[in-house]
Amino acid sequence: MKNTHLVFVPSPGIGHMVSTVEFSKRLTERDDRLSIFVLVIRSPAAPDLDSYTQQVDASNTRIRFIYIPPVDPPPAELLKSPENYFSLFLESHKSHVKDAIIEQVLSEPFTSLAGFVVDLFCSSMIDVANELNVPSYVFFTSGAAFLGFILYLPIHYNQNGKEFEATDCDSIIPTYTQSVPSSVIPSFAFNKDGGYASILKHATRFKETKGIIVNTFTELESHPVKSLKSDNETPPIYTVGPVVDLGGQKQLDTGRKKIMKWLDDQPSSSVVFLCFGSMGSFEPDQMNQMAIAVEQSGYRFLWSVRSGSKDFTKGPGEYSNFFEIFPDGFLERNKNRGLVCGWAPQVEVLAHEAVGGFVSHCGWNSILESLWHGVPIATWPLYAEQQINAFQLVRELELAVQLTLDYRVEYANNLLMAEEIEKSIRSLMNIENPIRKKVKEMKGMSRKAIENGGSSFISFGRLIEDLYVNKAKE
């Protein structure tokens, strides 16, 4: 009997890779005929990929990694648009990807290839799938509403013939129940240096695939999912979430024991957790305002602080001395009710009973993790699709406290004042806030969705059936 393989081509970011691997684990658990190859494309912006993939390699024999040879990066002037830069960077790997599939996957005896699964920035790899006469799919690591925004881009272009403008009227996008203000439209949609054109191209290519797999669940995004499924021009939609890494990234273990021990000593639901993702950092003026707000709120806090970099491909780093970045006396005055750290084991922290609120950048993985553990969010988006995620959480779903919806790290004049931040923290941690109850209810729904008979469980089964049907047609 032939073994059936799937090849995944994720973008070279830790969030994309973790979601891909967790989804792959679910697939192999549901169907013992499947084995997975995950292509690893290295990038300066993803220094942690090797340690993560090596850990998975050692623990799961049905997920194998293929390390693609490096290529020269695009010209530095293309950095005016990170989205375009990375799309071109990934596209330049196509010949290496094709060679790797032929030499390491198709060369295996008694093997058939069920399909290519690409993510947002890897739609150029659909060309490789076509050349090999293999079906292609999209694994969309963000939510269904944002997928709807991506698929709306060709409509917007046909109507306007250009990028979004800050002065645009609110947009009517089918996957949102409310009109979407320009202030929360992702920055790439305004970018005239290839950002808008790049994502527009990806959106067009998505419609060539056999299906789009979305890391969400119907109970969370009922309107967006219904909207996508009712569009005859959109490929089949499979909702398989929440796909989250409940074990956490064990390879990033620095300081973990100290953090978890400190949390063990705090009362239940008493700690506000401030963490802004693998790329989140702030300028000194904003850090000062945050410190004032955290101190004046009076709440216990765990604060993950990362140092910034002017080169976005490098990502944030770790501070060697926290005393240099906070107002005089802040650390000493708050040593008994707060802990400042660098990297933090976010999933473990959110799972801890001491944590009562989460000030978050609103990356989709972070949103799903917070809902899974029933921890409400105060929204502080920074980049990418995080502004529109925050809008969805606050305005559409009423599952978060609005700290800000339109903060963007690329705007030099951004500065949230301490009074605003403190007010949001107090609202977030208020046990009478009705959002807390709604988040707890969504916690239960998120778990039921992936259980036997749940909405995502059923969608998962339909995906597996369709993989074999589409493979047989090729």
pLDDT, tens only, 122-138: 999 999 999 999 999 99
**56 band by pLDDT with thresholds 50, 70 and 90:** confident
Q: Mean pLDDT across the stretch 8-22? A: 91
pLDDT bucket at 53, cuts 50 / 70 / 90 = confident
Any idea which of 166-175, 277-286, 349-358, 392-401 has the lowest mean pLDDT? Answer: 277-286
Return the domain boundaries, the chain: 3-246+447-473, 256-445
Output the pTM of the full model: 0.95
Residue 243 DSSP SS3: coil
Average pLDDT of the chain is 92
Task: Read off the pLDDT of residues 268-280 as tens digits, 9 standing for 90 and up.
Answer: 999 999 999 877 7
**How does pLDDT run across 157-185, given as a tens digit for each residue?**
999 999 999 999 999 999 999 999 999 99
**Cα separation of 470 and 474, whole Å?**
7
- Helix, strand or coil for residue 5? strand
Predicted confidence at residue 251, as pLDDT, reads 46
**Among the listed residues 151, 146, 206, the one whose alpha carbon sits nearest the alpha carbon of residue 176:** 146
299: pLDDT strictly greater than 80: yes
Res 343: pLDDT? 87
Q: How far is CA 92 from CA 27, 71, 96, 101, 378, in A?
A: 29, 7, 9, 16, 39
Q: Please tell me the distance from the alpha carbon of residue 91 to that of residue 123, in angstroms, as a whole number.
A: 8
Quick one: pLDDT band at residue 55, thresholds 50, 70, 90?
confident
**Least confident range of 97-111, 209-223, 423-437:** 97-111
Average pLDDT over residues 31-57: 81
pLDDT at 346 over 50: yes
pLDDT value for 311: 53
**Ramachandran area for residue 194 (φ above 0: left; ψ -120 to 50: alpha; else beta):** left
Q: Is the pLDDT at 318 greater than 90, yes or no?
A: no
Residue 272 · residue 245 · CB < 8 Å:
no
Q: Which class is domain 3-246+447-473?
A: alpha beta
Instruction: Work out the average pLDDT over 320-342.
Output: 88
The tens digit of pLDDT for each residue in 276-293 reads 987 778 888 999 999 999
Write the burial class of residue 203 (CB in 10 Å: 0-12 exposed, 13-18 middle, 19+ buried): buried
Q: 């920035």: which residue's tokens?
A: 121
Fold match between domain 3-246+447-473 and domain 256-445: yes
Two tokens, residue 244: 């989250």
Domain 256-445 - what CATH class? alpha beta
Position 1 pLDDT exceeds 50: no
